[in-house]
Amino acid sequence: MNGRYRETGLKLLSKHGISVGDSIKITIEDDEITGLLMPRYESASEEYIVIKLKSGYNTGIHVGKIKSITKLSDKHQAVASVRTPAVTGNQSLPKVALISTGGTIASKIDYRTGGVHAALSANELYASVPELTNHALIDPEILLSEYSENLRPKHWTMIAEKVAEKIKTDRYMGIVVSHGTDTMHYTAAALSFALQKLPVPVVLVGAQRSSDRPSSDAALNLLGATIFATESKYAGVFVAMHAGTSDDTIAFHVGTRVRKNHTSRRDAFESIDITPVAFVRNNKIEMQQKHPNRLLQRSSDNSFEVNTKFEDRVILLKYYPGFDPTLIEHAVNVGYRAIVLEGTGLGHVGKACFLALKKAVDAGIMVCMTSQCIWGRVRMTVYDTGRDLLDIGVIPLSDMISETATVKAMWALANSEDVEAAKKIMQENLANEISPIIPIS
């Protein structure tokens, strides 16, 4: 039983042998309601039971209004009845590899807790979006089943190596990686540095709402990602998510220039300081012709560069009034090899931090500066504070996003002979992480 039901609700359910996850029918006055019994949240009233309707929405029903309650099937039968059979793709369509790593796009309701869990396989994702059979032959594989907050640099290496393996061993038109949204932009940046000069597009796709919810964005995002993977003229790493709150357009962002800017909206991801590369509307791709970044064209060349190592001893520190400089000293003392600062405005931190930063630089630690502002560039030559930081040895990173800078520092240190070489790499534009400066006409 459990499901956190107590007192009145528990007595009613126990009397009829009903458990969480069972399919039930309830009669209220002249109305009948059928659905699955969901768990009761601890903070919810004991006088209500919760039902998931066929529409996908939950409703609470007051126990005192229930005239009759009947179990239609137990939870095992209920879950089995909604399972979708595998779909066989059209062998003549372009081939796309679908690598599943987990996250909301690969999640279903957990009937024990009422929350979502990573349970959908890549094959189930394919089967749940039958429209995919009109655009590509999907080759699915489960690599990970993790929420993205649990991913670490070692997982970026695993994903990068799997993508490289797919490209080298078969003729895919593109690679789609299903991923949790919370850290998807970190993984996109990691793949952008680990896999350079890609011959095909690699598209990371996620969902803000799980695939069994009526408001889910999972199916449209996955369909859009597949269309882009097969039809885009560009190669490289991209992120595919809703462009707006309506279910009509998917945007495709450069992997190093994208950020999650909202906790729950379907259009949470935005391109920073540049425009999206393309949109998919009504299942048709619309490439943006005038794109300021240096984007690679598709090719049949498989000699792309694969360097999948990451140094995880990199720390991202956000400056704020009252920031304690001993945090910088601690980072040095515990063995971090690089510090990425999210400074204010044009790239500043308070003078109280100067001595700690100088000690860090003198100790051979790579210290880089980004801005905590969403848009714009670090310009450390404008004010005395910035110039003093430059004299200390802090490296300005133009308009590089702080998350991208953190990932790049991990990659640069792991793939350089020494810190000085890594510092040079940090200031080079390798994967469109630094936007070109467009002259004012």
* Residue 260 designated active-site: yes
3-state SS, residue 336 = coil
Strands (E), 344-391: 366-371
Q: Which of 181, 183, 230, 406 is catalytic?
A: 181
Q: How many residues does the chain have?
A: 441
Q: Which of 101, 104, 256, 406 is catalytic?
A: 104
Q: Which of 52, 162, 166, 260 is catalytic?
A: 260
Q: Which of 22, 182, 217, 399 is catalytic?
A: 182
* Residue 181 designated active-site: yes
Cβ contacts of residue 94 below 8 Å, gap of 6+? Answer: 135, 136, 137, 173, 174, 230
The C-alpha atoms of residue 380 and residue 64 are separated, in whole angstroms, by: 67
The C-alpha atoms of residue 206 and residue 183 are separated, in whole angstroms, by: 10
The C-alpha atoms of residue 368 and residue 425 are separated, in whole angstroms, by: 12
Q: Which residues are 341's β-sheet partners?
A: 317, 369
Token duo for residue 46: 């004991």
| Other CB atoms within 10 Å distance of the CB of residue 111 | 21
Q: In what order do the strands lie in the sheet with 395-396?
A: 314-318, 338-343, 366-371, 395-396
> Among 86, 173, 184, 82, which residue's Cα sits nearest to residue 135?
173
Token duo for residue 385: 């504070």
The C-alpha atoms of residue 254 and residue 436 are separated, in whole angstroms, by: 14
Residue with tokens 């609700």: 9
Burial 219-237 (b: 16+ CB within 10 A, else e): bbbbbbbbbbbbbbebbbb
Long-range contacts formed by 40-48: CB under 8 A, 24+ apart: 40/3, 40/4, 40/5, 40/6, 40/9, 41/4, 41/114, 42/4, 46/5, 46/6, 46/7, 46/8, 46/9, 47/8, 47/9, 48/9
Long-range contacts formed by 122-128: CB under 8 A, 24+ apart: 122/98, 122/178, 123/86, 124/84, 125/98, 125/100, 125/178, 125/211, 125/218, 125/222, 126/86, 126/87, 126/89, 126/98, 127/84, 127/85, 127/86, 127/87, 128/84, 128/211, 128/218, 128/219
* Residue 110 designated active-site: no
Q: List the catalytic residues.
A: 104, 181-182, 260
